[in-house]
Structure 1
Amino acid sequence: MTQTYPGAPATLPSPAPTPAGADGGAGAFLDVRNLSVAFPTDDGLVSAVNGMDFTLERGQTLGIVGESGSGKSVTSQALMGLLKGTSAQLSGQALFQGKDLIKMSESGMRQLRGRNIGMIFQDPLSALHPFYTVGHQIEEAYLVHHQASKKQARAAAINMLGRVGIPSPEQRYDEYPHHFSGGMRQRAMIAMALICEPELLIADEPTTALDVTVQAQILDLMAELQAETNSALILITHDLGVVAEVCDSVLVMYGGQCVESGPVDEIFYDTRHPYTLGLLNSMPTLTGTSGRLNPIPGQPPSLLDLPSGCIFSSRCDYAALAGADVCREQRPELLVETGHGKRCHLSSRQLITIRTSR
């Protein structure tokens, strides 16, 4: 990212060398295989993520959607190594340019965080430290991965604040998070995440608390910066409208599992799982004739005691078509055909019938 805002200081130092091996390895840029995360509690083992599989290439945007508690944020925390040193039980692989993030040591992850993998957290007010100025926090993120002086780091931080659209960045550099509005704090979080130009950016509900105008500005900014750096983006959200606008592919999570995945157009127009259909049906539309939304009935399953069969069967309106006993007793595998995967006992013909009758 060589562009600077008008009046920005001159040249900035190059980043420290990428850790050995981080630019090697065959296969996908990010290749997640059978990722599982469980948390031991007094009541039992909480299975938050169960056998996640997906790949992502540079320059592409993957949207991960699902209800609260479906495992979206836990997946991102596992990829960032934020669960290391906790009681969480992790298994599977997350190969980032050939290096397994799950097996990597904490010291190894510290070298990758910020420089190679960045994250925008859901709540910038809690993610930013209230006792330090915004500029100081961005500057510190820069110094960790650059051989630079404090003066150079300050220049880089001011430049990035200007790049993300914060007015008077020299003045804002010395202000505290509580001086910023919600949209400005989110921009500051993006500046902190992008200061080292990461190759992979994970954005966890980056626009949830923002009004629609600021939301559009943030999404445009992220798309612009992604295009400049050819970075890969994982966008975690519950907003299917945002997914339709910015994502290349989509992964739908339910009960800690991927229940459907594929190109964004196919997820919307060739939907192959009843849960995804339920999410689409619950969205308000401008052309709808009814003033009522159609929420998915029932509650998600307890992650302490997942059913032995399809985890969506108790809420599915179409289980009888596949055979209620089959759905209750047999856990469907994730079947992938031409890049579109579904975890459902219903046949393609039955799903077509369901879609056309909506």
Structure 2
Amino acid sequence: MTSQPLLRIRDLHVAFPTDDGLVHAVNGMDLSLARGETVGLVGESGSGKTVTSQALMSLLKETRAQVGGEILLDGTDLNTLSEQRMRALRGKKIAMIFQDPLSAMHPFHAVGDQIAEAYRVHNKVSKRAALAVAVDMLGRVGIPDPKRRARAYPHEFSGGMRQRAMIAMALVCEPELLIADEPTTALDVTVQAQILDLLGELQQETGTSIVMVTHDLGVVAEVCHHVAVMYGGQCVERGSVRELFHDPRHPYTQGLLASMPTLGDDGERLRPIPGFPPSLTALPAGCLFADRCPQTHLVPDDLCRTERPVFLASTGVDHPSRCHQENLATAEEAAR
């Protein structure tokens, strides 16, 4: 492994022009990912997870989105590349498992042909050779009788099989970075476990780094090395899985963990986070979580509502929290 991370996101901003004004979907996102590791992007719907993943794949250019900041993949800023150069990278160096494989796969072409076509885009081989690779890949992801199934169409696969086929298509060229956008959504718990095990096994084989986009903290605990918690388009806390689950520092992270159902609750009601996320067309001047935070009274001078908190280097590179209370406590400790 090298010391330089495979992926580094610096101050990523994404805004969409609408009739009601700019929708600020991502607001200063920072993230890094080492080779061979998995980072989870977690947060409520609308927190910016999927838009961040689409920005990584450079899929927003046709949407009139305004994208700023840096997305460094192996030192190359993807935001500066032309569409032609990005097409050369997609599939070969960076690939994506989309949330809905049925809509992501073409309904008029056999599954094996689609995987073979993805392989031929980056490899100068015959159709016969590419189809042989596709059949082999379908077998590697656990599709029974892969040679016969390669001739089937997406609608002839079950949900779990379609997800496996989508994983096969994403990994057929062995990309260095894989983005998995809710890869287990709408799957039952047994199939979900099989898909997660499969991703782990393939990661061990290929050394692929994974960005796991999910709202399921159970999935994060099972497969991720690190976590980035997103709220209002920002990363509000990041750290290792162990650090985040055992010592959550941001009030939003604490609220997410408190809202999780656990075994032995004996019918105890779930504890949702009260209130609503901020409007992305009119972001507040202060902390984006202030209106829902139960701890703003602990911060003097109404700082939570007047000034946007930042990550302090003194809070530790490995587990920072974008919170005024955390920053003030760190400053007081440093002054002693």
Q: What's the TM-score, normalizing by structure 2?
A: 0.94
Residue number in structure 2 paired with 1:175: 152
After TM superposition, the structure 1 stretch with the greater mean CA deviation from structure 2, 27-36 or 104-113, is 27-36
Residue number in structure 2 paired with 1:231: 208
Question: Cα deviation per residue 1:188-236 (whole Å; 9 max; x = unaligned)?
Answer: 0000000000010000000011000000000000000001111111000
1:323 Cα offset (Å):
3.5
State the aligned residue count.
327
Question: Cα deviation per residue 1:295-330 (whole Å; 9 max; x = unaligned)?
Answer: 000111110011111110000111111147211111
Asked if the contact 2:249/2:326 (under 8 Å) is kept, the reply is: no
**Are positions 1:344 and 2:312 aligned together?**
no
Residue number in structure 2 paired with 1:110: 87
* In 1: Cα distance, 2:106 partner to 2:235 partner: 34
Letter in 2 for 1:90: V
Residue number in structure 2 paired with 1:15: none
**Are positions 1:213 and 2:190 aligned together?**
yes
Judged with a 3 Å threshold, the aligned counterparts in structure 2 of structure 1 residues 290 and 320 are, in CA distance, closer, same or farther, namely: farther
1:154 Cα offset (Å):
0.6
1:341 Cα offset (Å):
1.2
**For 1:259, what is the secondary structure of its paired residue?**
strand
Q: 1:294 aligns with which of 260, 265, 271?
A: 271
Matches within 5 A, 1:262-301: 262-289=239-266, 291-301=268-278
**Are positions 1:243 and 2:220 aligned together?**
yes
Matches within 5 A, 1:195-206: 195-206=172-183
Residue number in structure 1 paired with 2:333: none
Letter in 1 for 2:122: H
Q: 1:148 aligns with which of 120, 125, 138?
A: 125
**For 2:79, what is the secondary structure of its paired residue?**
coil
Matches within 5 A, 1:1-358: 27-289=4-266, 291-323=268-300, 325-336=302-313, 337-338=315-316, 339-347=318-326
**For 1:314, what is the secondary structure of its paired residue?**
helix
Question: Cα deviation per residue 1:14-68 (whole Å; 9 max; x = unaligned)?
Answer: xxxxxxxxxxx98321111111100001110000001111111111100000000
Asked if the contact 2:312/2:327 (under 8 Å) is kept, the reply is: no
Asked if the contact 2:154/2:162 (under 8 Å) is kept, the reply is: yes
Asked if the contact 2:138/2:168 (under 8 Å) is kept, the reply is: yes
* In 2: Cα distance, 1:118 partner to 1:335 partner: 33
Letter in 2 for 1:322: V
1:86 Cα offset (Å):
2.8
Judged with a 3 Å threshold, the aligned counterparts in structure 2 of structure 1 residues 264 and 324 are, in CA distance, closer, same or farther, namely: farther
* In 1: Cα distance, 2:3 partner to 2:76 partner: 10
* In 2: Cα distance, 1:183 partner to 1:62 partner: 23
**For 1:85, what is the secondary structure of its paired residue?**
helix
**For 2:32, what is the secondary structure of its paired residue?**
strand
1:284 Cα offset (Å):
0.3
Question: Cα deviation per residue 1:120-176 (whole Å; 9 max; x = unaligned)?
Answer: 000111111111111111111000001100110010000000100000111111111
Asked if the contact 1:26/1:97 (under 8 Å) is kept, the reply is: no
Q: What's the TM-score, normalizing by structure 1?
A: 0.89
Letter in 2 for 1:277: Q
* In 1: Cα distance, 2:243 partner to 2:312 partner: 15
* In 1: Cα distance, 2:124 partner to 2:19 partner: 46
After TM superposition, the structure 1 stretch with the greater mean CA deviation from structure 2, 325-334 or 234-243, is 325-334
After TM superposition, the structure 1 stretch with the greater mean CA deviation from structure 2, 246-255 or 283-292, is 283-292
Letter in 2 for 1:236: V
Q: Identity over the aligned pairs, expressed in percent?
A: 64
Asked if the contact 1:64/1:250 (under 8 Å) is kept, the reply is: yes
Asked if the contact 1:272/1:348 (under 8 Å) is kept, the reply is: no
Asked if the contact 1:47/1:303 (under 8 Å) is kept, the reply is: yes
**For 1:45, what is the secondary structure of its paired residue?**
strand
Residue number in structure 1 paired with 2:334: none
Residue number in structure 2 paired with 1:13: none
Residue number in structure 2 paired with 1:19: none
**For 2:263, what is the secondary structure of its paired residue?**
coil
Judged with a 3 Å threshold, the aligned counterparts in structure 2 of structure 1 residues 349 and 283 are, in CA distance, closer, same or farther, namely: farther
Gaps of 5+ in 2: 331-336
Gaps of 5+ in 1: 1-24, 352-358
Judged with a 3 Å threshold, the aligned counterparts in structure 2 of structure 1 residues 277 and 290 are, in CA distance, closer, same or farther, namely: farther
